[in-house]
């Protein structure tokens, strides 16, 4: 009779095959991280300790943890004990100087810096709720964000005080103070910081933080506002703790780890998954002031960070910097973030010697997400991954539904129900909601029920069900990989075909002389649909002529209908317009279209694909299109 070891050895190839086919080990990691998070936040609610303030207090009061670094900023280290004492000073100052009370909302307009964290945690210590304002906003957008928050008090970083200076700035300040019926605007400068540090701190009683439930608001985080005014997304305590606890468990974050982020803390990615995720397990947050290719790697190296966070186009910018012998001189084992495009993925990983990419997909106001820890060759470019166990356990909790991308409507069958996409078929990602208790997982936008309801679709696969609309197109492969295709609205229809701006951008992004590429559809007189236009930034010293001539052959990698008719060479010093979180802004580009007069007014130059070659596009060519003499 064969020994157990012999039987095990014989079974190993079969077990390995089954794991590769069904991804049991990977699914178990995801499921255990999910259960860990769920158990943790339910226990916090039962104990009345949902405020993240209790995280820093726990480690600050622990003899084994109090001296470990909580925060590293520009070489300055703050231990958990030191940080906690500062938070208590700020809590006392907020209460005694400004009478901040439980449950009220206080607006914060700050760049990344320690004082932002001290105020933030001080507010939570008092049971108040921060509204995190994008520090890039000014004028109408800044006033709008503060106003919809209902905050009576606004703290503005001295670094961005110019939004309140000059003729326009003074008008902005007047509106902030008068539109809010006596709202107070406070410029937080170094003198104020010194005053607070001399304040006598106190620990607010537990009653200040008692009584909150998981669906209750922990803070407000704003959408980017690329299609209109920003909306204030309600970030619940459940979402705060689930995001932080799940990610820290999924990444295997430990107390000894150092997590680097220079992404803006006003955004949910850096706030929940970076700052709070690090604090949840008692590890060290290494905070960069702003993203810069000059400071990124020096800060990572000097702090000995072993995990880093990326977002949007930051990895492309790092690749665009000149190669250095120091490129692999760091301790980073995992790069974690979202928006790493497939054309950058492998080059980034190989140049900087980072063995693991942890890519995720989620949204500020959303209710779910997808996750992909990627090593080796398999899974490059995927925003999510799941095997048989995930499929069985979560079923239609996350699904992809067919849609008419041009009209931005979900397709329905003869019975009025949506149609689930098959493998490798692109459609809109939908996340399941409890139709009898929508607010259990989805809190929507603060004081904006209309916008909140627009994100919900009902009677999707059966009568009475409800799903959250992500507004994003994805496809799922048979082996369990999920790929981002495009944002709905960024996909355009040309020559009776749907064109993904994201996929076209990837092809342009692979050209060695193109630093940035933003693809979108433009409407043309006398033509149906929208034709493609690629706004590009060319890396010097390459000339426009040289690149555009090369692009004539380069675009043959794309189907004929997907090849952009127009190329817009952007000349602005700052390159393409982006949000504070490095997403490309397409609105103005779409509006200016292919009119050379409008494009020229912005200082840019247009080329067009004529007889298979990109050549300069001018006023005469435009008049030919407007007059119906040119048919593309």
State pLDDT tens for residues 532-564: 999 999 988 778 899 999 999 999 998 888 999
**Mean pLDDT, to the nearest integer, of 292-299?**
96
Mean pLDDT across the chain: 91
Q: Is residue 363 part of a domain?
A: no
Low-confidence winner among 237-251, 310-324, 448-462 (lowest mean pLDDT): 310-324
Let me know whether 473 and 497 are in one domain: no
Question: In whole angstroms, what is the distance from residue 465 CA to residue 527 CA?
Answer: 40
Let me know whether 416 and 496 are in one domain: no
Q: b/e for 125-153, b at 16 or more Cβ within 10 A? A: bbbbbbbbbbbbbeeebbbbbbebbbbbb
φ, ψ at 405 (rounded to 5°): -65, -30
pLDDT computed for residue 7 by the predictor: 47
- 452: burial class by Cβ within 10 Å (0-12, 13-18, 19+)? buried
User: What 3-state DSSP class applies to 57?
Assistant: helix
Q: Give me the number of domains the chain comprises.
A: 3
Let me know whether 475 and 508 are in one domain: no
pLDDT computed for residue 433 by the predictor: 96
Question: In whole angstroms, what is the distance from residue 571 CA to residue 305 CA?
Answer: 36
pLDDT computed for residue 311 by the predictor: 86
* CATH code at position 410: 2.30.38.10
Q: b/e for 94-113, b at 16 or more Cβ within 10 A? A: bbeeeebeeebbbbbbbbbb
Q: Is the pLDDT of residue 2 over 90?
A: no
* 93-102, 173-182, 561-570, 593-602, range with greatest mean pLDDT: 93-102
Of the residues 235, 265, 290, which one is the last residue of a structural domain?
290
pLDDT computed for residue 541 by the predictor: 79
- 564: burial class by Cβ within 10 Å (0-12, 13-18, 19+)? buried
Closest to 363 (Cα-Cα) out of 507, 488, 249: 488
Residue 45 to residues 42, 52, 416: CA-CA distances in angstroms?
A: 5, 12, 40
User: What 3-state DSSP class applies to 373?
Assistant: strand
Let me know whether 127 and 265 are in one domain: yes
Report the sign of the C-alpha dihedral through residues 274, 278, 283, 284, in that order: positive
Confidence class for position 19, pLDDT limits 50, 70, 90: low
Let me know whether 203 and 93 are in one domain: yes
**Mean pLDDT, to the nearest integer, of 606-621?**
92
* CATH code at position 514: 3.30.300.30
pLDDT computed for residue 16 by the predictor: 53
- 495: burial class by Cβ within 10 Å (0-12, 13-18, 19+)? middle
Q: How far apart are the first and last CA of the chain?
A: 77
Closest to 24 (Cα-Cα) out of 398, 482, 478, 386: 386
* CATH code at position 145: 3.40.50.980
Instruction: Provide the residue range defining the domain that includes 541.
Output: 492-626
Q: Determine what percent of the chain is predicted with pLDDT higher than 90.
A: 74
Q: Is the pLDDT of residue 211 over 80?
A: yes
**Mean pLDDT, to the nearest integer, of 214-224?**
94
Let me know whether 418 and 567 are in one domain: no
Let me know whether 473 and 515 are in one domain: no
């Amino acid at each position: 009779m064969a020994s157990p070891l012999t039987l095990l050895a014989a079974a190993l190839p079969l077990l390995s095959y089954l794991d590769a086919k069904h991804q049991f080990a990977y699914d178990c990691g995801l499921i255990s991280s999910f259960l860990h998070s769920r158990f943790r936040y339910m226990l916090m609610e039962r104990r009345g300790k949902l405020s993240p303030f209790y995280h820093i207090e726990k480690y600050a009061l622990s003899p084994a943890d109090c001296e470990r670094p909580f925060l590293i900023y520009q070489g300055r280290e703050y231990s958990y004990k030191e940080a906690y004492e500062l938070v208590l000073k700020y809590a006392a100052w907020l209460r005694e100087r400004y009478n901040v009370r439980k449950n009220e909302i206080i607006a914060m307009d700050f760049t990344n810096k320690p004082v932002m964290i001290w105020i933030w945690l001080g507010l939570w210590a008092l049971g108040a709720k921060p509204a995190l304002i994008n520090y890039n906003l000014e004028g109408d957008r800044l006033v709008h964000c503060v106003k919809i928050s209902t905050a009576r008090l606004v703290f503005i970083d001295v670094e961005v005080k110019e939004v309140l200076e000059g003729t326009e700035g003074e008008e902005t300040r007047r509106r902030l103070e008068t539109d809010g019926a006596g709202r107070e605007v406070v410029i937080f400068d170094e003198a104020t910081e010194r005053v607070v540090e001399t304040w006598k701190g106190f620990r607010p009683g537990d009653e200040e933080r008692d009584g909150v439930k998981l669906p209750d608001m922990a803070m407000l985080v704003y959408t980017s506002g690329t299609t209109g005014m920003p909306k204030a997304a309600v970030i619940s305590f459940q979402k705060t703790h689930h995001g932080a606890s799940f990610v820290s468990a999924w990444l295997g974050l430990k107390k000894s780890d150092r997590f680097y982020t220079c992404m803006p803390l006003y955004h949910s990615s850096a706030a929940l998954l970076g700052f709070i995720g690090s604090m949840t397990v008692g590890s060290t947050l290494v905070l960069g002031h702003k993203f810069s290719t000059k400071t990124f790697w020096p800060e990572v190296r000097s702090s000995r960070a072993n995990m880093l966070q990326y977002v949007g186009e930051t990895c492309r910018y790092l690749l665009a910097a000149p190669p250095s012998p120091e490129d692999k001189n760091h301790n980073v084992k995992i790069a974690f973030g979202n928006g790493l495009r497939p054309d950058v993925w492998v080059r980034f990983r190989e140049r900087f010697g980072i063995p693991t990419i942890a890519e995720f997909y989620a949204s500020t106001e959303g209710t779910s997400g997808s996750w992909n820890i990627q090593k080796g060759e398999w899974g490059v470019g995927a925003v999510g991954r799941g095997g048989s166990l995930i499929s069985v356990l979560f079923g239609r909790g996350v699904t992809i539904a067919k849609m008419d991308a041009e009209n931005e409507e979900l397709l329905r069958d003869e019975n009025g129900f949506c149609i689930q996409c098959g493998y490798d078929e692109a459609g809109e990602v939908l996340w399941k909601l409890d139709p009898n208790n929508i607010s259990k997982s989805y809190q929507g936008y603060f004081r904006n029920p209309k916008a909140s309801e627009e994100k919900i679709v009902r009677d999707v696969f059966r009568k009475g069900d409800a799903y959250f609309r992500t507004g994003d197109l994805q496809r799922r492969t048979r082996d369990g990989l999920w790929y981002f295709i495009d944002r709905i609205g960024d996909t355009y229809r040309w020559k009776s075909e749907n064109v993904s701006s994201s996929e076209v951008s990837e092809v342009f992004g692979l050209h060695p002389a193109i630093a940035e590429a933003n693809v979108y559809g433009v409407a043309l007189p006398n033509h149906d649909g929208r034709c493609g236009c690629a706004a590009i930034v060319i890396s010097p010293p390459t000339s426009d002529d040289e690149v555009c001539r090369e692009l004539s052959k380069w675009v043959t990698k794309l189907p004929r209908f997907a090849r952009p008719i127009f190329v817009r060479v952007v000349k602005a010093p700052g390159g393409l317009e982006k949000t504070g979180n490095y997403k490309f802004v397409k609105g103005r580009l779409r509006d200016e279209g292919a009119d050379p007069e409008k494009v020229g007014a912005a200082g840019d130059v247009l080329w067009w694909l004529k007889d298979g070659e990109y050549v300069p596009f001018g006023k005469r060519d435009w008049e030919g299109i407007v007059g119906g003499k040119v048919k593309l």
